[in-house]
Amino acid sequence: MGRMSAKILRGILLSILVLAGALHAQMVILSPPTNSVSPLDRIAVTVVGKAGSDATLYINEEEAAKGTIRIDGIYDFLNVAVPTGPVHIKVEAPGARNRIYSAQRDIHVLGPPKKALPYEDNLSIPADGISQKEISIKLQDAWGYAMTTVKQITVSLTSGTIVDKDIDPLNSGHQVPVKSGVVSFTIQAPETSGEAIIELRINQDFFQFPVRYKVPAEPFILVGTADGNLSVTKSPQENTDLPAIDAMDNYYQGRLAFYAKGAVAEKYRLTMSYDSERDKDNQLFDDIDPNDQYPIFGDASQLTYDAQTRSKLFAKIERDASYALVGDYNTNFAGAEFAAYDRSFNGLLTNYAGKNHSLTSFATLTNRKQKLDEIRGEGISGFYFVTQSDMTKYSDKIRLETRDRYHPEVILKSTDLVRFQDYDINYEQGSLMFKQPVQSTDSRGNPVFIVASYEYQTTRSETPIAGVRYSGKFGSKVDIGSTMIYEETTTSSAYMLYGVNGRVPIARGLTFSGEIAESRTPDGTNTFSNGQAYKTELNFNFLNIFKLDGYYRNVDSSFVNPSQSGSGFDQGGSEKYGTRIGVESQNYGKIGTEFYRQFNRLGTVNENRVEVFSIKYDKSLLTNRGNFTLGYEDAKRERFVADTVGFNNENSQLVSGAFSYKITEKLSSDLAHEQNLGNTNLTKPTNTALGIKYAMNPKLTLFMNYRMLYDSGTKDQVVLGFDSKVTENTELMGKYEIGGAMGDSRNRASIGIKNKWQVRPDLTLNIAYESTATIDSLEVPTPDHDAFAFSFEYLPEMPWKSTGKFEYRRDPTSNKLVLGLGTDIKVIHGLSAIFKLDHMNTSFLNSNDEYQLHGVYQLGMAYRPELTDKFNSVGKIAYLTDRNTHVNPDERLDRFIVSVHGYYQPLRWLELGTRIATRRILDDNGLLRDRSTTNFISGRAEIDWTLKWSSALDLRYMVITEIGQWQSGASTEIDYLLMKNTQVGLGYIFKNFQDDDFSYLDYQLHNFYIAFHLKFSEDIFNWR
């Protein structure tokens, strides 16, 4: 009761003070409070004044609203628009004797986030794969006020791991909470030193900070093995089976392999690997192929590769972000367009990374060439085929690029894909199958391309290739880069590429950037073609009110850079220039205009010219729920037509209007119409478009676009799909793991699909439909086709995972059906199974039932008991088929494979192992026919007689049944443990054996041999 009385008393006193102020000053502002911070751009202003008088509200000295003060002396100005930043509020009204009284106060309206200030400068963490560091960053608007309205933010990290829980795993990046304008999260360093970028993203605004992973003071480790065998006699054995090895050439054999890593000297780290038997001729790097060997192994283990190389030696010495290495690497010369150079080599790579300057160089000997294919998406997940089938294994770099349909040199979006996680690849066939459909266009009609860069083998001898890339920052604003490449093609000629690029801020809001590059390509013996490519761009932005962009670019037809993305879009022999101007007002809308010209010429007949002028006006309506657009376009195109020996002129003058409206918080629609004012030789027909969008959640929208065409002879256009701010998939991390059967990463690579719509925690779906064709002669052509795709991921908590897809595509020449199914299950403790199906059938129209079939069907099983290790077994059954009747003669390639590995330890001192396998080949191309069945069986027994004495017996048998060709092998060995980790032995080869194709095993010695086995570690350096 006492507390209530006190509150009433305080209210009465406050009212008296307000009334007293009103009587004295005749005008008082009650709210908002002085120096308060408003998160909204519309506020309410409450004033006290003389009843019945007319009050005028001023915002930053501009009249904003008027109103008559009520009889109680109070008036509320509601829904008052205020700009972001400092806001000065003033209210005027006549008082006693009609004297004008006023009241003023200042507040702040939060603007968008413009500043992100880390609590600690020069962020660094030891690169040991373990160390963690908490990062705290203050978010502020342009005036330094804390962004208290931001509740979560998207964080991404180019290298390393964000440890904190992702509070919204459906969104791209990592979502972390923001408290009182401060975002805090913990990152864990990788094992590789260098520099990474932390990116914070809020809607369209983003901030980037470097974090340096420095070389840790970690202990030096070394593990290795040395094995040697020496024949006692060089007398050859009789061998009338499959070809044997010449004993005179194999008097001894051995292997040395080791791995070392750790700190050496001070501030340096060494990583080294050597294997005398490692020689992967047509491969670069290492990766875990889920289709290699067996599809399931009955455990959840994960493998990683550190020292990757195809050659015997890998060595890397590093200090902070600087390093030098010998092994496999990607050049990754980015930062430029015309002089970009991204290839995979085995050789020498050095990188110096200073605070403002970096220098990277490489050198190699290779007989490979690079190929960059740009394949248009077809609305299905595959199969897509590269142009070279003899790909170097693991040299592929695949990404999806969305390009501007009118300016294909402009990349709107680029997404790098991860092998086996985002796509499957067959290196022999050169085929790609993606984990989700690849659209032909995005929701706005911009073309989507698969950009596949890879190396392939040639018949030429090895020649040197070298390059250097410099990047530097002068002051805090000027960026300069330079590239030079030398590729020797023969002993008397070489390809060269060199270029310079830069970006210079001239004044506030005004930036100039440019690039120039030149290539020298051998035409023949001592003759070359030189080509240049250059571009300039000028950007001006005045307070986001006035924007001006101008550009000019020219590419000679003789300019060549196989690494340049987009080189296939009529870049060679092109000249393009244009300008864009935009003016925007919060009250009156925005107006934009663009003018550009393009000239493209390849050879003597492929020539066209384009000239386009457009202007557009945009205005928000209905309290920002609606938007109105009005535009005009004048487009001209001249195309050289060989049949008519002249140019075909096309011209369209179009007026357009569009209206979009947000019907509910989730549902919106838009209606647009383009009216062509001409009747003949049009670049674009008259058309009407209707679009509907439904927000299934804040980051995922289901959309449908329908475009009706008038008098064009082209079908109407329909596109249905998901538009996602979520990356391209839901990434249900950990959902693919089956404990004791399959790890998350391997299972995701094996049967994973990447969907966008999470229906419930254990189920995701994807659905897409497109019916498109080229309707605008100025845009990148889109093939006429219809495509439908549906897929699902069912990942319950139980030990059973399943995925599937159904896709269908139709175009004027063919129909294509794609089916995929993957499921794995842990049947009982220790027993697990997996089934995979990938099927594509293309039926060609207007032909004699011609078709192309590609199928992979695979069943795998593993028995790995959890309570005992006495018996383990893995096996698979696989059927692979490729048939093509669309070529003459018809082609058929079939493979049927069965393979089982088993291990049994009946006694503590006895271990038994066996492998049984069969392979059936059926190849037929009309001229050559191969029908063969190969059966293989092997067994091995190992006996530990004592702690020091052991022996082994090995037996093998293989036969090709159709021709009765067979071979067998047998050997035995007795070993003695001479000292810790050192073993010597005596063996005898009863029958030599060689098979590099089926079992990958051979005996390379004859009769008696002496064996030596040694394991060693870093302790060898401590011997005394």
Q: Residue 294 is encoded by which pair of tokens?
A: 């067996």
- Predicted local distance difference test score (pLDDT) of residue 727: 44
Average pLDDT of the residues of the chain: 85
pLDDT at 249 over 70: no
pLDDT at res. 119: 85
The tokens for 717 are 């256009």
395 Cβ contact partners less than 8 Å away, ≥ 6 residues apart: 284, 285, 344, 368, 454, 455
pLDDT at position 358: 93
More confident residue, 296 or 577: 577
The β-bridge relationship of strands 589-602 and 37-38 is: unpaired
In our burial notation (b when 16+ CB lie closer than 10 A, e otherwise), range 955-973 reads: bbbbbbeeeeeebbbbbeb
SS3 810: strand
Q: Is 844 exposed, middle or buried (0-12, 13-18, 19+ CB in 10 A)?
A: middle
The answer to whether 321 and 351 have CB atoms below 8 angstroms apart is yes
Which one, of 813, 766, 763, 804, lies nearest residue 786 by Cα? 813
Q: What is the pLDDT of residue 724?
A: 65
pLDDT of residue 604: 47
Structure-token pair, residue 677: 């004012």
> SS3 breakdown of the chain: % helix, strand, coil, rounded to 5?
5, 60, 35
Res 680: pLDDT = 74
Output the pLDDT for position 166. 85
pLDDT of residue 396: 93
pLDDT per position as a tens digit, 71-93: 989 999 999 999 989 999 999 99
Q: Which fold has domain 2-109?
A: Immunoglobulin-like (2.60.40)
SS3 96: helix
Q: What is the DSSP string of 395-416?
A: --EEEEEEE-SS-TTSEEEEEE
pTM of the model: 0.81
- Average of per-residue pLDDT across 219-238: 78
Distance of CA 744 to the CA centre of its chain: 19
Candidates 520, 521, 513, 517; CA nearest to 555 is 517
User: What is the rounded CA–CA span in Å between residue 1021 and residue 1024?
Assistant: 9
Both tokens assigned to 826? 């842990």
Query: Which has the closest alpha carbon to 719: 439, 529, 976?
Result: 439
The residue-averaged pLDDT of 227-248 equals 55
Distance CA 204, CA 302 (A): 37
Element of type H or E holding 11: helix 2-25
Distance CA 692, CA 705 (A): 7
Q: Is the predicted pLDDT of residue 477 greater than 50, yes or no?
A: yes
Residue 3: is its pLDDT beyond 60?
no
**Backbone dihedral region for residue 444 (phi beyond 0: left; psi -120 to 50: alpha; all else: beta):** alpha
Average pLDDT over residues 181-196: 88
Q: Look at residue 469 and tell me whether its pLDDT is greater than 90.
A: yes
Task: Provide the 3-class DSSP secondary structure of residue 1018.
Answer: helix
Grade residue 43 by pLDDT with cuts at 50, 70 and 90.
Answer: very high
299 and 740 in contact (C-beta within 8 Å)?
Answer: yes
Q: What is the pLDDT of residue 184?
A: 94
Q: Does position 861 have pLDDT exceeding 80, yes or no?
A: yes
pLDDT at residue 517, rounded to an integer? 96
Question: Cβ neighbours of residue 267 under 8 Å, at least 6 residues apart?
Answer: 215, 319, 320
> Which residues does 352 contact at the CB level (< 8 Å), separation at least 6?
322, 358, 359, 360
Higher pLDDT, 51 or 297: 51
Q: What's the average model confidence in pLDDT over 816-845? A: 92
DSSP state of 171: S
User: CA 938, CA 958: separation in Å to the nearest integer?
Assistant: 9
CA separation (Å) from 439 to 312, 596, 716, 754, 876?
42, 28, 18, 14, 34
Q: Residue 241 pLDDT more than 50?
A: no
| For range 47-55, the mean pLDDT | 91
The CATH number of the structural domain formed by 798-1022 is 2.40.160
pLDDT at 646: 60
What 3-state class would DSSP assign to 41? coil
Per-residue pLDDT, 963: 82
DSSP string covering 787-851, please?
EEEEEEEE--SSSEEEEEEEEEEE-SSEEEEEEEEEEEEEEETTEEEEEEEEEEEEEESSSSS-E
1010 neighbors 252 (Cβ within 8 angstroms): no
Reported CATH class of domain 115-213: mainly beta
Flag whether pLDDT at 729 surpasses 80. Answer: no
DSSP letter at 475 equals T
Q: If you compute the radius of gyration of the chain from its CA atoms, what whole number of angstroms results? A: 36
User: pLDDT exceeding 90 applies to what percent of the chain?
Assistant: 48
In this prediction, residue 248 has a pLDDT band, given cuts at 50, 70 and 90, of very low
Residues with Cβ within 8 Å of residue 208, at least 6 apart in sequence: 197, 198, 199, 200
- Across residues 97-108, what is the average pLDDT? 90
Q: Is the pLDDT of residue 858 over 70?
A: yes
Would the pLDDT of 230 be above 60?
yes
pLDDT of residue 732: 43
The residue ranges of DSSP E strands in 288-391, in sequence order, are: 313-319, 322-330, 344-353, 357-366, 368-376, 380-385
With beta carbons less than 8 A apart as the criterion, state whether 591 and 583 touch: yes
Q: Band the pLDDT of 642: cuts 50, 70, 90.
A: low
Alpha helices in 412-568 (DSSP H): none
Residue 4 DSSP SS3: helix
Q: How much is the average pLDDT of 316-320?
A: 89
Pair 1009, 987: CB distance under 8 Å: yes
Q: CA 23 to CA 31: how far, in whole Å?
A: 18
Q: How confident is the model at residue 17 (pLDDT cuts 50, 70, 90)?
A: very low
Q: Of 328, 343, 243, nearest to 1002 (Cα)?
A: 243
**Tell me: the pLDDT tens digits for 658-697?**
999 999 988 999 999 999 998 776 778 889 999 999 988 7
Residue type, 833: A
According to the model, what pLDDT value does residue 841 have?
Answer: 95
Confidence band for 997, pLDDT divided at 50, 70 and 90:
low
pLDDT 10s digits, 542-588: 877 899 999 999 999 899 998 888 766 656 788 999 999 999 887 78
Q: Report the DSSP pairing between strands 368-376 and 448-457.
A: antiparallel
- Can you tell me the distance from the alpha carbon of 525 to that of 381, in angstroms, rounded to the nearest whole number? 45
Mean pLDDT of the region 442-469? 91
Identify which of 719, 778, 794, 827 has the alpha carbon closest to the alpha carbon of residue 298: 827
Domain segments of the chain: what residues? Answer: 2-109, 115-213, 798-1022
pLDDT tens for residues 369-390? 999 999 999 999 988 999 987 8
Are 139 and 181 spatial neighbours (Cβ–Cβ below 8 Å)?
A: yes
- Please check whether residue 930 is in contact with residue 940, taking contact to mean a CB–CB distance below 8 angstroms: no
- pLDDT (mean) for 864-872: 87
Unique residue bearing structure tokens 């909470």: 177
Q: Give residue 19's identity as a one-letter amino acid code.
A: L
**Residue 134 confidence class, pLDDT cut points 50, 70, 90:** very high
Contacts of 1021 (CB under 8 A, 6+ apart): 222
pLDDT band at 20 (very low <50, low <70, confident <90, very high): very low
Least confident among 267-276, 381-390, 556-565, 746-755: 746-755
The DSSP secondary structure of 696-754, one letter per residue, reads EETTEEEEEEEEEESSSSS--EEEEEEEESSTTS---TTTT-BTTTB-HHHHHHHH---
Asked whether residue 701 carries a pLDDT value surpassing 90, the answer given is no
Nearest Cα neighbor of 801 from 730, 729, 737 is 737
Check if the beta carbon of residue 396 is closer than 8 Å to that of residue 452: yes
Residue 10 phi/psi, 5-degree rounding, is -65, -40
Identify which has the larger pLDDT, 919 or 998. Answer: 919
Provide the β-strand partners of residue 178: 183
Indicate the SS3 state at residue 21. helix
pLDDT for 730 = 38
Residues 505, 511: contact at Cβ < 8 Å? yes
Same fold, 2-109 and 115-213: yes
